[in-house]
């Protein structure tokens, strides 16, 4: 049987074209999905790297904080150690001074001396230009013998651009003019309060003690700066 159909080429072309467009659309969709997935994967990778870097930074920060705390503790310990060493050095210096004092007092160095000025210590009082002075007198000439007499102070320095020496009566006008009395067997601390005039700069302090007889007279000068930093001798009278 012979069938006759009309020839329609455009319809076939449209069909082929639709198939091609569908294939192209599916290809573009696949490419788009692949690109989207690559971006998501890259984002996940980048986020993981960021989290790892942040973790490393936090670890380093904690280590740095620990090192800083350790350094602070070490500095504080070193400061305490240095202060302890300074305290011990001051104690040793004080003990040496006491040893020298008692050695001289007992004649441990082989010397026997009459009246002697062991040292003088000056402390600023609360009132301006007023100072408390402690002079330590000793004797080991004769064991058990009493040394008695009087002691005076003088201070030399600069006043109005001139060298000036202030006598005992100028330093302590309200105290006994001929000096402070002392009486002891081995040593004694004599305490006095002196006032310096306005504008006077002290340089040296002089202690003059006179016991008379075999004990004799002691006359000794000390630098004012040394007297201000002198070690304190125990307040004992013998």
Can you tell me which residue has the tokens 């467009």? 21
- 153 beta partners: 207
3-state secondary structure of 207: strand
Q: Are residues 31 and 126 in the same domain?
A: no
The domain tally of the chain equals 2
* 62, β-bridge pairs: none
Alpha-carbon gap, residue 70 to 64, rounded angstroms: 10
Final residue of a structural domain among 111, 133, 165: 111
Q: Convert the pLDDT of each residue in 40-88 to its tens digit.
A: 665 655 667 777 788 888 888 888 888 888 888 888 888 888 888 777 7
Domain boundary among 60, 91, 111: 111
Q: What is the DSSP letter of 233?
A: P
pTM: 0.54
Three-state DSSP state, 196: coil
Give the domain extent around 24: 9-111
Structure tokens at 238: 């013998």
* Residues 94 and 148 occupy one common structural domain: no
Q: Are residues 116 and 224 in the same domain?
A: yes
Q: Are residues 60 and 43 in the same domain?
A: yes
Residue 237 falls within a domain, yes or no?
no
In this structure, the answer to whether residues 100 and 163 fall within a common structural domain is: no
231, burial (CB in 10 Å: exposed 0-12, middle 13-18, buried 19+): middle
pLDDT at 222: 96
> Which DSSP symbol is given to 86?
H
| Inside any domain, residue 3 | no
User: What's the rounded Cα separation, in Å, for the pair 27 and 168?
Assistant: 119
pLDDT band at 146 (very low <50, low <70, confident <90, very high): confident
Judgement on whether residues 132 and 184 belong to the same structural domain of the protein: yes
Reply yes or no on whether the pLDDT at 8 is more than 80.
Answer: no
pLDDT, tens digit (0-9, with 9 covering 90-100), for 197-214: 999 999 999 999 998 877
Residue pair 105/187 in contact (Cβ under 8 Å)? The answer is yes
Residue 76 resides in a domain: yes
CATH number of the CATH domain containing 140 = 2.60.40
């Amino acid at each position: 049987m012979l069938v006759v159909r009309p020839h329609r080429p455009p319809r076939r072309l449209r069909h082929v074209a639709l198939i091609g467009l569908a294939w192209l659309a599916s290809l573009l969709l696949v490419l788009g999905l692949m690109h989207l997935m690559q971006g998501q994967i890259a984002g996940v990778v980048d986020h993981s790297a960021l989290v790892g870097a942040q973790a490393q930074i936090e670890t380093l920060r904690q280590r740095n904080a620990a090192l800083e705390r350790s350094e602070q503790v070490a500095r504080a310990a070193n400061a305490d150690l240095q202060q302890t060493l300074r305290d011990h050095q001051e104690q040793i210096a004080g003990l040496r001074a006491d040893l020298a004092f008692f050695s001289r007092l007992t004649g441990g160095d082989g010397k026997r001396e009459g009246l002697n000025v062991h040292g003088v210590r000056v402390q600023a009082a609360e009132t301006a230009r007023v100072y408390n002075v402690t002079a330590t007198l000793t004797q080991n000439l004769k064991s058990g013998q009493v040394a008695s007499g009087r002691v005076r102070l003088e201070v030399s320095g600069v006043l109005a651009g001139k060298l000036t020496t202030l006598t005992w009566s100028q330093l302590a006008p309200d105290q006994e003019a001929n000096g402070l009395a002392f009486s002891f067997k081995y040593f004694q601390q004599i305490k006095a309060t002196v006032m310096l005039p306005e504008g006077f700069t002290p340089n040296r302090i002089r202690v003059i003690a006179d016991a008379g007889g075999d004990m004799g007279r002691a006359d000794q000068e000390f630098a004012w700066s040394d007297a201000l930093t002198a070690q304190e001798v125990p307040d004992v009278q013998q």
